[in-house]
Amino acid sequence: MNLMVPELMGMLGGGLRRVGPVLAVAVLLTSCNVTKYLSEDQELLTAQRVELGKGNKLDNRTEVAYELSLLTQQTPNGNFLFLFPREHFFLANSKPRDTTRIDRFLRNTIGQPPTIYSDSLSRRSSALMEDFLRYRGYFNATAYHEPDRRREKKVKLIYHVDPGIRYYIDSVAYSSPEAEIDSLLQVLVTDSPLQPGAPLDLNAFDEEKARISRYLRNAGYAYFSNNYFDKLEIDTTHRPGFANIYLSILPPQQEDAYRKYRIGSVTVLTDYSPAREAAGEEYLADTTVSGIRFLSPTADFRMRPELLAENIFLDTDSLYSREAYEKTNLSLGGLGIYRFVRINQLVDPNDSTVLNYEIQLSPDKRMSIGVDLDLNYTNRSQLLDNDNTTASAYSNNLIGVSVSPNFRNRNVFGGAELLSVALRAGVEVNPGADASSRFFNTIDLAAEATLNLPRFRDFGFYALANRTGLLSDNFYRQLRERASTRYSLAYEYLLIRTFYAYTTANARLGYDFRQSSTTTYRINHAALDILNFGIEPQFERILENNQRLRRSISDQYFFSALFRNLEYTRVGRPDRLGRSVTLNGQFELTGGEVWLARQAVSGLDPGNDFAQYALAVADTRYYKQFSPLRSFATRLLMGVARPMEVNQEVPYVKQFFAGGANSMRAWAPRGLGPGGYVDSLSIDLTSGTFNNNLRLYQTGDLQLELNLEYRFNLFSFVRGALFTDIGNVWTIEDDPDRPGSQFLFKGELRQREGADPFYHQPFYRQLAVAGGTGIRIDLSYFIFRLDAAIPLRYNYPQQGNGDPISPREPISYPESAYWRNFQSFGFSEITFQLGLGYPF
């Protein structure tokens, strides 16, 4: 909140410059008598809570209380910026004379209509709470509301809830008047969530109805639905605290209600158009593939029928299966060339037990062209030559612009192949360049071409893995049905003046596999990358004093024949409490074949031209939605990379770094760490000042990071955020050129020949902490983000404002030496980060 004080003072007026007066104004506004705007019979609902009876045994007590709170029919007003009641803005600007644009903005955007207490709605809320608990098995639950009117015309509402005892299942019985369905139910009951001894929860009954309906629809009963179940019968008279459950299927209301169906004819209308259909135009092309009839309004098929047939799982003369129906719909839609896929099923007029299918495919535009424009502002150092032995640096304020045109052809060879071509051209310029600096600081050029085949093309690897038991039959079947094959070529040129320039060219063969609506795999097998570095003279002098960094920045080949990397993503769906967990894991293995060859052939690759390393990253994200406009998000990121050869380093472009718009936001990219190391280049020897923006090449082999962010609504499409970032990067091996950079579990005193002794802190004492606030402009199709962050805790002992203690004593400094104070805090110490979308 300290970062927002100047802006808050400016908004309130008066030229205030200290926190005390601002808080006084906040208290004054908060204490405004909002109730003076209400009529005599109105009361303002200011707060409400749910109190559960303490004498009851209740599973997941906190979760139940939260779920009950969601059932309330009234919600008290919130505060703007946590201090100012929104109803005040609404009421104070609702007078007849309040017609200016500012009045309307305060009333309609920042303000909220006051929540007027209603006794009838409170009784309704209590009744809903009782129903909710009874649905969960607490049949004797009671709830009532108590309004607290100790403040005039203001009500604090308390809901007193007594769940009573919970009932458990004693026995379960399924039945159906249809003999064949009844026999299936007796098989299904063994896997039912309704089992003797389990807590009674009618949510499980709803899940069981859905499970039985799904099973029966896949067994040929095409039109079976949840409506065919009788009401669940619960008998609690036989045993105290236990209930007998009777689940029955109703007798058929119609003759064909429980009829089994088989699949008849399947007809596919390619290039379907309702207008063409209404005009009665004939289909000029007519062919049959695998028993499926294909019709096209043109003489030729835009899409090869053979490929379409591979994506249709409705087999003629087979028993109806809802799973085959949904799989066909998903597979045809996944081809990416049809705007609409409609599957109509009709009973055969000649046989009432047969369903005929007509699949209507409405094509999307075959080709599309787009362009993206990106603007950014950054602060990046530039190295200068002082003499022949040293280098110095100063900071540039840079403006960047990037243009990215792209082209897509969704059916390039007539088999739903997707060809994507993307280009990128970007520069960063220094608008205030003088004789000592250069106008162009960064140049970025890139091109990529990707061809996606809408089918899985196995080259023998997966079939062998399946036969040897390494891959399950079910997973292999899903791969063949849903995975697409991907070929790609890419090239990139990046120049950062006074540091380095590199070019990369790569080729990939891999697969994209969407296992479900929430789970995806991205796999690369054969891959070749060629990396070529060009080092500027100024940066060369830095590399001379850092041999590990020197070895990581070199020309290299990245070769993989069987496997390069696997990326797994599982997007969590919010549960009834608004909680979700998203997982992203990545494992990369480069040069494994080269490493095996070097074990067999001595002297192979003596110059270490082939990169050989393994890398793993785990990214776990937790989200909690309090309301549609209030949420909490957190991310835990862990990464580790190791070379396979002792005399090698993980390539610089694959090492981990912290800082930037999506990481430790109080630091510039590659400006934090590694460990507790302080780069001498970042210290101005003439003034003794410190600037972490002048050492933007710090990387490590291991990364730990925890990010926490509370997101809330300010007004209209403008959102706010408060965040904390905790993390750093480390080297795994000892680096003599960067003392303090190694990851250690336990601190130790180190003494090297020719160097001053120092105390190496354990990793948890080297964690940096940042805090800040941000603004998000949510325009639906993209989110524009501006974050303002400051360092709260540094990864090294410092003097209270970020300047490292120098010279550092060989002792373990107290914790207070790592945290900054704000006695000399200035606006220039805030780091602003610009980005698109949420950081995580």
Average pLDDT over residues 196-221: 90
The pLDDT, as a whole number, for residue 5 is: 30
The pLDDT, as a whole number, for residue 385 is: 61
The pLDDT, as a whole number, for residue 2 is: 31
- Of 732, 754, 752, whose CA–CA distance to 744 is shortest? 732
743 within 8 A of 762, measured Cβ to Cβ: no
Average pLDDT over residues 401-418: 89
Rounded percentage of the chain residues whose pLDDT exceeds 90: 41
Banded model confidence at residue 391, pLDDT cuts 50, 70, 90: low
Q: Specify the range with the lowest mean pLDDT, choosing from 378-382, 389-393, 541-545, 566-570.
A: 389-393
Q: Please give the Cα distance from 775 to 721 (Å, whole number).
A: 6
**pTM to 2 decimal places:** 0.79
pLDDT one-digit tens code per residue, 774-825: 999 988 777 888 999 999 999 999 988 888 888 888 999 999 999 998 887 7
Average pLDDT over residues 470-487: 90
HEC states along 535-590? ECHHHHHHHCCCHHHHHHCCCEEEEECCCCEEEEEECCCCCCCCEEEEEEEEEEEE
The pLDDT, as a whole number, for residue 692 is: 53
Torsion of CA 551, 557, 558, 559, to 10 degrees: -140
Sign of CA dihedral 675, 680, 685, 690: negative
Rounded percentage of the chain residues whose pLDDT exceeds 70: 90
pLDDT one-digit tens code per residue, 149-201: 888 888 899 999 999 888 999 998 999 988 899 899 998 888 888 888 888 88
Q: How remote is the C-alpha of 592 from its chain's centroid? A: 31
- Structure tokens of 318? 């087979």
Q: What is the DSSP string of 134-181?
A: HHTT-TT-EEEEEEEEEETTEEEEEEEEE--PPPEEEEEEEE-SSHHH
Across the chain, what does the average pLDDT equal? 85
The pLDDT, as a whole number, for residue 685 is: 54
The pLDDT, as a whole number, for residue 689 is: 60
Task: Return the amino acid letter for 486.
Answer: R
Q: Is the pLDDT of residue 11 over 50?
A: no
- Structure tokens of 473? 């039959």
Q: Is the pLDDT of residue 383 over 80?
A: no
